[in-house]
Structure 1
């Protein structure tokens, strides 16, 4: 690959390998790709003047689609402002994209130990931003009236979304949840069980000249290369498959260039490619599925732990980790559910018809707009029918597979929680019954030995007339007789005593009611006589 800012053939094996390495470097700021059915070119770390030359030059028929990807846009304000001025971003959108993330963000804080999120469904238009201030500042350092910024809202409300339509662009903003691997050598069992996840905000912008712009929140300092690869996984998956050397399994396949070859209308290649690229950058299906699969796996592990409580020995301690882990799992699932419902809402907004003449529309292949020169502006933002159909299918998958699965997992989690409490309640009842039987046995033993104790006391009394009257044989005979009588009495009369006790309780209740009735009747009669 040539030096920074210069495009190289992405279908060249050496360029492809080097691009894969460059994309995984934390120092890489951005890249640009121009591609078509027959070829693709790529360049890394473009400067503002190079971006300006790229977007101002008419796209060629051979490579009608352009993709500009920017990591940490707040550190590349010259490029962001250039794109905003060229495509007519609103001042609010430009200010939000330029906002720096809070400096106090922690990049690998375990998801299970995060503070409770606020899940609200407020209109995002009430949000205020930190403007174009380039200096990162923690929300805790702001006054009470200034502590609500874009990234604070994105952190507190997982389904926080952005939606903006202009004359030359269409923009959506949303949170991505990236699943990270446990750190090597981490001995924290809770951290390993809960997993590590990272929330990052992203913008996708589809422009009217078949240019797609993707911008991603800066994750902070990332020491582990695997973590960075996980955060950029979907972007790198789409990027790699724009080259002929890129491979993917059936789940992760992004058929952007392949779909261009299937399109018979060559005039629509730019719209087709840009629309499909826009869709696949949004559709991180593998990430969504792996997250839900992880929840199912953890729920199965908790189910096994709860069912093990049935066979737990009485002298073993209670597993006190189950309740916190169930709570953390439920919170994570609900948070993901809010996120996926937000995705579904975004898909609805993308596909719904707009009243304004300038809108995102699924154009027909016979539309006169498609006969325009690739890369020309002023035709409005157009979404190809193939991309619209993919968005519809994505919405169906989210509803039928992901959201239904999260609801089922939440229901099973509540059932497991109830089962856990029922098991412990049953074990507590059994323990109470054992204690009751033990107490009853001790009471019976005390009753059994009470006559013997009295007899022994009688034999030990120092009375002169009894001196020498009783022998040891008399004592043991008396002991045997009293023990036999006491044992027979306990054996035969214990149930009789219980019956007598219950009968006396019934009589006492009847007597109490009769007394109350008699007193009330007497008082009523006295009142009548006085009246």
Structure 2
């Protein structure tokens, strides 16, 4: 029975995969639109130890294979793909373990040596003790490392040290470039991005920030509050669009410290799902065996699913699919929407909570908290600005230069094949020539996007500017205002303390002044004069008189100076008398006016 099922599965394979003549391809590739097979692939895409997958799809069919070897990928790249499988998606996790696969892709699509070398960068493995791995997640350990590194001396924080150039000596070491690590650079500069053009590919490199579920740890909250980087998991990605309708995604391994067969804990599994959330959604939307009716409308993508069946749309689906796949993998709308809706990056909520704390008890420590929030927002703003820059480069109009056209032997006359340009007319306007004659696309750098993808990239650009960047700028402006407000509140609070101290001082002074005449009187009565004697009743009579006069004098002085009950005098007594006189004269003038009328 098993042999029968295997034979049926082999017969169900399209002839394209059978002609590849690789046992691994015949065994791995299965119908992606089958619900049962899709469920198995859906579990594989969420496994941390999955290395790669290749997905070929068209309007009517889709086939997928996981964890393919380099020989299988080379055979697939060399074979001519049928028109029924117009689009191919090659996804690579753990690129540090698949140099041979990266080499095959670089040779097929003619990557530059620099781009290929950067893709082969090895992330530094970071191991922690077993006890600490049980006590906290790797994300918490990463936060500890970031906070600890910021407490080190300044010389250890140099950019050269972070990207592996500490021991560089230009006079003695001519191979210093071997110390540069792409992933260390991306970790040091979060808004680092790159755009590479080739005659058969367009490559985008960028950082993505994924917010993971908090662990409700007070230690983690303390580290986050003192960090200058936004909370979340940073992952570097390469996104490549090729001229043969192939889309390649290469992702940094966020758990490079894991050994073969080692599993993630519960916290890190949630983080992995958050990192691959957009990829998993795109992967699901590419299968007709997945029921997307219960999904959020924002998560449904038009890659293989259409509502209508118009002939015009069907004619453009094969050419629109690669660009749409390229766009959907770049646009992580869920993260951007979470920022706008204040679901994940709750900087507005944090600022509002801090504002309430300031009104209750302003402290100088709030300034430090606001400083770290401002640094995190600045990093987040530069991250989204790098996305805007990438979109501008993708939408940038590509025009061939005169030299590239001559080197490509494009500038030839119609039937004779002789060169159009001679030594006398090399200043020919290139745009005029392109407008009058068609230029093959292979002579231009980069890969053209379909109109369906271009309009969506333009929409994404304005959405980032209108929602994400404006929200971040509003939080930064609020932060600056709160810094000044905190200083003013601290000054006002100090003023209240000074006023309270003044009241106490005035009270002590009044008590002192009150008993000073009594002290003088008591000293007088204690003197022994010849022929003069004082009785006890006389002493208490004079005591009452002196106390009464002292209290009356203090009350009159307090009223005149405006320090009654310890309150500060904001107006002098003469000013009060002048204003009172003016008010009396004004009322008398009004009374006379009414009498004459």
Question: TM-score over 0.5 for the alignment?
Answer: yes
Within the candidate set 327, 336, 339, 1:291 is matched to 339
Within the candidate set 115, 119, 129, 1:97 is matched to 119
Question: Which residue is 2:453 aligned to?
Answer: 387
**For 2:43, what is the secondary structure of its paired residue?**
helix
Question: Which residue is 1:12 aligned to?
Answer: 34
Using structure 2 for the length normalisation, give the TM-score.
0.70
| Cα separation, partners in 2 of 1:152 and 1:263, compared to 1, 3 Å | farther
Tell me the number of residue pairs that the alignment of Structure 1 and Structure 2 aligns.
464
Question: Which residue is 2:298 aligned to?
Answer: 251
Conserved 8 A contact 1:67-1:212: yes
| Cα separation, partners in 2 of 1:355 and 1:287, compared to 1, 3 Å | same
| Cα separation, partners in 2 of 1:377 and 1:139, compared to 1, 3 Å | closer
Question: Which residue is 1:525 aligned to?
Answer: none
| CA offset digits 1:492-522 (Å, max 9, x no partner) | 23465799xx99xxxxxxxxxxxxxxxxxxx
Question: Which residue is 2:167 aligned to?
Answer: 143
Say if 2:507 is the partner of 1:431.
Answer: no
Conserved 8 A contact 2:241-2:247: yes
| Cα separation, partners in 2 of 1:473 and 1:189, compared to 1, 3 Å | farther
Q: 1:149 deviation in Å?
A: 3.5
Conserved 8 A contact 1:306-1:322: no
The root-mean-square deviation of aligned C-alpha atoms, in Å, is 3.6
Give unmatched runs, 5+ long, in structure 2.
Answer: 1-5, 10-22, 128-137, 151-158, 170-175, 258-263, 406-437, 564-570, 573-597
Using the TM superposition, name which of 146-155 and 43-52 deviates more: 146-155
Instruction: Tell me the distance in 1 between the aligned counterparts of 2:369 and 2:344.
Output: 12
| Cα separation, partners in 2 of 1:379 and 1:403, compared to 1, 3 Å | closer
Within the candidate set 277, 283, 288, 2:325 is matched to 277
Question: Which residue is 1:154 aligned to?
Answer: 186
Question: Which residue is 2:547 aligned to?
Answer: 483
Question: Which residue is 2:233 aligned to?
Answer: 198
- 1:4-403 correspondence runs (5 A): 6-104=28-126, 107-108=139-140, 109-110=142-143, 113=147, 139=163, 142-144=166-168, 148-183=180-215, 188-190=220-222, 196-220=231-255, 221=257, 223=265, 224-244=268-288, 245-247=290-292, 248-258=295-305, 264=312, 268-292=316-340, 293-294=342-343, 297-307=346-356, 309-310=358-359, 312=360, 322-356=366-400, 381-403=447-469
| CA offset digits 1:276-315 (Å, max 9, x no partner) | 11111101111122134257744234324423543x3xxx
Using the TM superposition, name which of 294-303 and 282-291 deviates more: 294-303
Conserved 8 A contact 1:110-1:197: no
| Cα separation, partners in 2 of 1:306 and 1:269, compared to 1, 3 Å | closer
**For 2:297, what is the secondary structure of its paired residue?**
coil
Q: 1:99 deviation in Å?
A: 0.7
| CA offset digits 1:47-71 (Å, max 9, x no partner) | 1011112221112222110000001
Give unmatched runs, 5+ long, in structure 1.
Answer: 117-126, 129-136, 360-366, 371-375, 504-531
| Cα separation, partners in 2 of 1:448 and 1:185, compared to 1, 3 Å | closer
Question: Which residue is 1:404 aligned to?
Answer: 470
| Cα separation, partners in 2 of 1:353 and 1:206, compared to 1, 3 Å | same
| CA offset digits 1:126-184 (Å, max 9, x no partner) | x99xxxxxxxx975684156565322332222221111111211111111011111126
| Cα separation, partners in 2 of 1:427 and 1:34, compared to 1, 3 Å | same
